[in-house]
Amino acid sequence: MMPRGGAQARAEQLATLDKLAHEMFVAPEIGRLIDELVPYGETLDYDSDDAALIRRSARDYEKAHRVPPELSAEITRQGAIAYEAWVDARQASDFGKFLPYLQKNVELKQRYVDCFERADETYDVLLDDFEEGMKTAEVREVFDQLKAELLPFIAEIQEHQDAVDDSFLHGNFPPDKQREFSLEIIRRFGFTDDQWRLDPTVHPFASGTCPTDIRLTTRYAEDNLESIFSSMHEFGHGCYEHQVDRALDRTPLCSGASLGLHESQSRMWENLVGRSLPFWRYFFPRIQDAFPELGSVELETWYKAVNKVQPSLIRVDADEVTYNFHVILRFELEQDIIDDAIDLADLPELWDAKMKEYLGIDVPDEARGVLQDVHWSFGGLGYFPTYSLGNVISVQIWERALEEMPDLYDQFEQGEFTPLREWLRHHLHRYGRKYTPRETLEKAAGSSLDAGPYIRYLTDKMSEVYGIGAPV
C-alpha cells in the first residue's frame, strides 16, 4: 500500500530496526544468560516448552552473534533499495538495470557466508537460513530424483495434451465473485472473520503477528480463476501459524519450523485438497452457481482442467509437475552465483538455456525470464529449494494423514475439512518452532525426507488425468 516515493525512507527504517533488534539479541548479556540456561535446559524433559525454548534460542543466538550488526543492517538496507531497482528493471524487461544491485547483494551474501565456519558447500550456509540443518547435497539428491522420474513423464504428457481441455478456465470472472467464492472455500477450511483477513495484492502472501491475527492476500485476474487456488495456498500458510500452541505465544517458538514445512502446508490445501476430485464434488456445483458460464462444464472435465500439466514461463503460474523445474533451475544457478562460478552478466543467457533444457521453452524476454521473481532483489539466495521441498514433504504428511483417516476424501465430498485441520494441528502445527525441521518432519510424517511418495502421487494422478498407463 506504500507509495513508491516511500521506498528509500522505508529502507533506512528497516535497516535501523534490523540493526537495533540484532544488537539487542547478540548483546553479551544474552549470551551469558543462554550459557547459564543451557545446562539447566538439559536437565528438563526434552519435549517441555522450556527445554525447547532454551535449545532453540541458544541455536538462534549462536548463528546471529557471528554476524556483525552493521552487515545485517546493510543487507536489509540494500535489499530494500534493490527491490525498487528490480521492480523498474522488470517493468523495462532489462536485466542490465538490475545487475549492479544484484552484484552488491551477492557480495554482501558472500560476506555473510564468511561469518560462518566452512560448510561442505558454500550454499549450505544460505540454505540453513530457510531450512535449518538441510544440506545442499540432500536437496540435490531429491532434485536428481525428480529430474530422473518427472522429466520423461512430462515429455509423455506432452503427447496427450488433447486429453485435457481447459479453455473454459479463461473467461470473464468478476473479481468480487472470485473473492466471495474464495472466502466460501477457506471459511469451510477454518477461516473466521474475527481472527483472519483476506485482502488483494500484487504478489500473494500470508503474514500475521500472532495466532489470532492472520492476514492472507490474493490477486484477482478477471480472465481466470487462479485467485481461488492462491487463496487456498495462503490459507495453508495462515493455518500453520494460527494453530501453533498458544503456550508458545510471544516466544521465538511461535511460528512454523521451516519454510519447507510451511510450504508443505500451503501446497497441501492448494493441491492435495483443492485439486482433488472429492473436493470438487462438493464445490463444483457451487462454483457453477457463482459463475454461470461454467454451467455446461462436466465435473470430470473441470477436474482434469485444473490439473493440466503444461510447461510455461512463470514459476508462480506453473502446474504441480513442471513447477519443480522452475525451482531446480534456480537452485542450480544460485550455487554458481554464490560460488562466483559464473559472471552475473551471463545470468539471462544461462537462465534461458536451462528453461530450454528442462521445459523445452524459449524465453521471449528478461521480464518473463531471469527477472520474474522478487527473491534475488532482497538477497534471498537459498530460499527457492524450500518450495519444492514443501511439495515433497506435503505428500509425506498427506500419506500419514490418509492412513490414520481413511475416510478423509469422503469428508471432503461433504464439505467437511475440520478433521484434516485438527489432525494437522495435532501432528504438526501445535509444535511451532519447538523442534528442528528434521525432528518436526519426523513427528508429522513419521519419516525423514523422501521424494518417493511425491513422485508416486504426481505420476498416479496425472496418469489418471491424461488417461495414460502409470509408469512402472
Catalytic amino acids? 234
Judged by CB under 5 A, which stretch of 167-175, 191-199, 262-270, 336-344 contacts Zn ion?
262-270
Residue with cell 557471528: 66
Q: Residue 291 Cβ, how far from Zn ion at the closest point, in Å?
A: 26
Tell which one of 218, 264, 266, 396 touches Zn ion (CB under 5 A).
Answer: 266
Window contacting Zn ion (CB under 5 A); options: 146-154, 264-272, 318-326, 463-471: 264-272
Least Å distance, CB 380 to Zn ion, is 13
For 360, left (φ over 0), alpha (ψ -120 to 50), or beta? Answer: left
User: Considering beta carbons, is residue 323 or 423 the nearer one to Zn ion?
Assistant: 323
Using the rule CB under 5 A, give the single segment among 72-80, 256-264, 278-286, 419-427 that binds Zn ion. Answer: 256-264
In 7-121, which residue ranges form alpha helices assigned H by DSSP?
Answer: 7-25, 28-43, 49-64, 69-92, 95-114
Our separate counts of H helices and E strands in the chain read 19, 3
Q: Coil, helix or strand for 119?
A: coil
- Whether the Cβ atoms of residue 252 and residue 233 lie closer than 8 Å to each other: no
Q: Where does 215-322 have alpha helices with state H?
A: 226-242, 259-267, 277-290, 299-305
| Count of positions on this chain that bind Zn ion (CB under 5 A) | 2
Taking the complex as a whole, how short is the minimal distance between the CB of residue 236 and Zn ion, in angstroms? 7
Cell 522478487, located at residue: 374
**Nearer to Zn ion among residue 74 and residue 234 (C-beta):** 234
**DSSP symbol at 120:** S
CB neighbour burial string for 154-172, b if at least 16 within 10 angstroms, e if fewer: bebbeeeeeebebeebeee
Q: Which stretch binds Zn ion (CB under 5 A): 51-59, 175-183, 260-268, 460-468?
A: 260-268
Query: Cβ closer to Zn ion: 65 or 326?
Result: 326
Give the C-alpha separation, 184 to 181, whole Å.
Answer: 5
Q: By the 8 A CB rule, do 326 and 372 touch? A: no
Kindly report each contact of residues 113-116 with a partner whose C-beta sits within 8 Å and lies 24 or more positions away, as own/partner. 113/338, 115/66, 115/67, 115/68, 115/71, 116/63, 116/66
- Applying CB under 5 A, the span of 81-89, 131-139, 164-172, 257-265 interacting with Zn ion comes to 257-265
Cell digits of residue 56: 532453540
Find out whether 280 and 404 touch, Cβ atoms under 8 Å: no
CB of 164 to Zn ion, least distance (A): 25
Residue 265 near Zn ion by CB under 5 A: no
Q: Which is nearer to Zn ion, 226 or 263 (CB)?
A: 263
Residue 259 C-beta: closest distance to Zn ion, Å: 8
Which amino acid appears at position 392 of this protein?
V
User: In whole angstroms, how close is the CB of 16 to Zn ion at the nearest point?
Assistant: 29
Q: Scanning residues 165 to 184, which ones bind Zn ion (CB under 5 A)?
A: none
Count CA within 13 A, CB hemisphere, residue 176. 0
Residue in the shown chain whose Cβ atom is closest to Zn ion: 266
CB of 75 to Zn ion, least distance (A): 23
- Nearer to Zn ion among residue 124 and residue 263 (C-beta): 263
Instruction: Please identify, using beta-carbon distances, which residue of 41 and 204 lies nearer to Zn ion.
Output: 204
φ, ψ for residue 189, nearest 5 deg: -70, -30
> Which residue is it, cell 510471544?
250
- For Zn ion, which stretch binds (CB under 5 A), given 108-116, 133-141, 239-247, 255-263? 255-263
We find the least distance from the C-beta atom of residue 323 to Zn ion, in angstroms, to be: 11
Among residues 258 and 266, whose Cβ is nearest to Zn ion?
Answer: 266
Q: Within 10 A of 56 (CB to CB), how many other CB atoms are there?
A: 21
Least distance in angstroms from the C-beta of 77 to Zn ion: 26
Distance CA 417, CA 188 (A): 7
What phi and psi values does residue 366 have, to the nearest 5 degrees? -70, -25
Name the site residues for Zn ion (rule: CB under 5 A): 263, 266
